[in-house]
Structure 1
Amino acid sequence: MKFMRSLDCTHWEWATCPTAWKWQHHRGDHEGPTLILQALVSQDLWIWHAYFGMTGAKNDIVFLQSSGLLNDVIDGVVPSTSFYANDVEYKYGYYLVDGVYPEWATLVKSLSCPNDEKRLYYKKKQESARKDVERAFSVLKKRWSIIAQPSRILEKSKKRNITYTCIILHNMILEDSGRAFCGESYEEDNQPTNPLLTYAKKEVIQVSIRDRDTHHNLRADLTKHLWFYREQEGDGAYFF
């Protein structure tokens, strides 16, 4: 992909969550009930996708399946994202994620137990690049304390509007300051026409983007790709 994007979720604590709903919004790794924000972030911290409002008891996998993040890919209405890694062509782009996410062809995870120098280097570069989304969450919360503090707003719709407003303003600040450099990947000339895919073709795409074998093959090819460019450019080699 021309520009990498990292995917992750963050929680916004809901201090005034109704008692009857608390069991739906409370997860063991958080002190109280929360609502979840899923975001897709590029290296310049531009937020390309945001989905807010799912109950805090859900995990990232359930959120991924509910958010519709990959719907445009399945519907065939996104610009071409095919690319080569280690001289092997891959039809769809990928997002950098942490270990909790499933092994899909469109998700690139780290390695839990790398056993050689190449894999150790891949792990280092993947985990370094994936921190873009965590940095974006940190910037959002530092910029607008309303989403950093436990919310006392009763209505979910108001919390959703506040969250999306903060994200829009965040992107506007990046653009106005000249720090947004990923916008060119969605120029009007690159926008595809809707191919009106049949249900059967959409099913084929859906199976393809969730293919586990492709996930492992892509990770292996990216490992070789990174190692090759490290030998060419040194340790400063770009992830992909």
Structure 2
Amino acid sequence: MFRVSRSRFQVLLEDIGASEIRFYQKKKNLDVDEQASLEAKLLLPIKTLAYGVPPHTFIDYFQMSPEHVHQVDGLFGSLDCSHTIWKNCPKAWAGSYTGKPGSPSIILEAVVDYHMFFWHASYGYTGNIGDLNILAQSPLLERMVDGSFHTLENEASVVPFKIGDQEFTKCFFVTDGIYPKFSRFVKGVKEPITEEEKKYTAWQEGARKDVERAFGVLKCTWQFLDRPILKLKLSEVAMRTTCYIILHNMLTADRVMGDPRARYVPCASLVLSGSPMLPKY
């Protein structure tokens, strides 16, 4: 079903069929005998979103990297940013949106766990600003500062947790070296010397690949994000990107949980395998 599992497609089919959206309703009093089925009406936009090409194109090859559990409590996810090229950026905005890629681009900030599930996504930043400036404008930092993020941690009972003999009251994110020295941000040692520093930095760099892998999978699955964006209106681009991330999370939940109706739980696969070390979320 164009990278959507059959069980997830069936759920979408049932929910959309029960909705009152006019496009998906069977039209009455038409002179023609046949109409497009609900399945066809749903498959067409999914295929277009998946490949970013005309509906007649059909290429369906995709390989996902294996999962890796990092075996450390308190790790909420990996934080980073990714650019998408905006080919049809209005000329008046081109200067503001031209940055690292050399062409106008739009930036996505995201926090992703080891299953590649997007816990946080903030999109629409101009391509000429760096990760630090994006963080300063991010709703993620705002929730950290006003205490609402810590409130959610307490409500979810993911804190406190222990690493060795030391107790911590805040979950943390793995980031690259450009991010500030916040208590929640765990970065690698720039020039590791001792064996402990080398081992820690190797672990940190391995854990941080989660977000890079998620960006790659997201763009490979929904190729609209991996090709120069032709849409002119930023609001339409943002709505499409939001749609892709929601669909990506649905597929991730299906893969981890095995049931499209089940709520996503990051440690579910570990529970099924009987692993003694479960990351707390």
TM-score by length of 2: 0.62
Aligned equivalent of 2:181: 103
Aligned equivalent of 1:157: 235
* Counterpart check, 1:60 vs 2:126: no
Q: Whole-Å Cα distance in 1 between the matches of residues 249 and 127 of structure 2?
A: 25
Secondary structure at the aligned position of 2:93 is classed as helix
Q: Whole-Å Cα distance in 2 between the matches of residues 130 and 159 of structure 1?
A: 27
* Counterpart check, 1:141 vs 2:219: yes
Aligned equivalent of 1:43: 114
Q: 1:175 is matched with which residue: 253, 266, 269?
A: 253
Identical aligned pairs, as a percentage? 34
Report the count of equivalent residues. 189
Instruction: Pick the structure with greater CA Rg.
Output: 2
Aligned equivalent of 1:210: none
Residues 3 and 111 of structure 1, relative CA distance in 2, 3 Å threshold? closer
Unpaired segments ≥5 residues, structure 2: 1-72, 268-276
Q: Whole-Å Cα distance in 2 between the matches of residues 238 and 173 of structure 1?
A: 22
Q: 1:69 is matched with which residue: 122, 140, 143?
A: 140
TM-score by length of 1: 0.72
Unpaired segments ≥5 residues, structure 1: 187-236
Question: Alpha carbon RMSD of aligned pairs, Å?
Answer: 2.5
* Counterpart check, 1:78 vs 2:149: no
* Counterpart check, 1:10 vs 2:71: no
Residue 2 (structure 1) shift: 4.4
Aligned equivalent of 2:200: 122
